[in-house]
Amino acid sequence: MAEPADIAPVSKSMSFVAFDTETTGLWAPVHRIVELGAVKFRLGERSHQSFQSLINPMREIPADVVRVHGITDEMVRNAPAADPVLREFLDFCGSDTVLIAHNAPFDISFVGCELDRAGLTPRDNPVLDTVDICHRFIPGLPSYSLIALVKHLGIAAEQDHRALSDAHLVRQVFERAAAGFPRIESRAQLLDLVTSHRLSDWRGEEVHLTPRFASLEQAVTRKLPVEIVYATRAQPPRTRVVRPQALFSLGSKVYMNAYCELARAERTFRLDRIVQFQLIDE
């Protein structure tokens, strides 16, 4: 394990929870979580606590999704519903931990939507995104998918696409990236260093697009590919073709879930970081 940065006294006092979800699809208001896994840890300590549970989504799991994570209808038939699992997950996290996920808006949307359905109030835990963190502290990589990062960092050669094992990978990626952090004296300083979300940011209401992005709704409805020029703080604008799956809001930002042909995987894009785009009519 890479040695973490000198962030005392935070390294001795702050607990992190790396978590991951496996789902029946890409769009949280429509699809469901089928597995939730998490690892609680502190930087510089090898010991950790684990949480994992299958969840009965109360619907069939599409065959194309089963091929990704391997979770079948039979495996979740006798699993608990989302409500008790979410209660246990919130208790596991506690109120003072910093959560970490890879492509965090996606996982936040699913956990938030399931909390809405269960009538549970989300905790106000901050959530960090290892995609954002690695763009900042491991710049210049051709891909920031989880499997690309763990291969680049020598953590693993493959990814199981199961919630607990992926949560362990997220933890290790975060630990490697944290080795590049400047000296951090407080939790607030850590949260100012990178983009942070909160579980309580999730809002399930309908997304209202500005006129500039209104045609993206047509792309989602008609399943049209879109060529976008996308920029982040860490990388200059880059052109890619994506196939939008869904639009959702998180806090004050609007996001698009899409299959990215460049990364050959599902990705989440912030609309305010799309410099320009055009629909491709097939």
Element (H, E) at 110: helix 104-118
**Burial degree of 48 (CB within 10 A; 0-12, 13-18, 19+):** middle
Query: What are the distances in angstroms from CA 185 to CA 6, 41, 192, 220, 247?
Result: 9, 19, 12, 44, 37
* Ranges assigned E (strand) in 69-184: 98-101, 126-129
Strand partners, 38: 19, 51
* Ranges assigned E (strand) in the chain: 16-23, 33-41, 49-54, 98-101, 126-129, 196-198, 226-230, 238-250, 253-260, 265-270, 274-279
* Ranges assigned E (strand) in 42-97: 49-54
The answer to whether residue 102 is catalytic is: no
Orientation of helix 104-118 relative to helix 130-137, angle to 10°: 160
**Which tokens is 109 given?**
């949307």
Of 48, 161, 197, 208, the catalytic one is 161
Catalytic site positions: 161
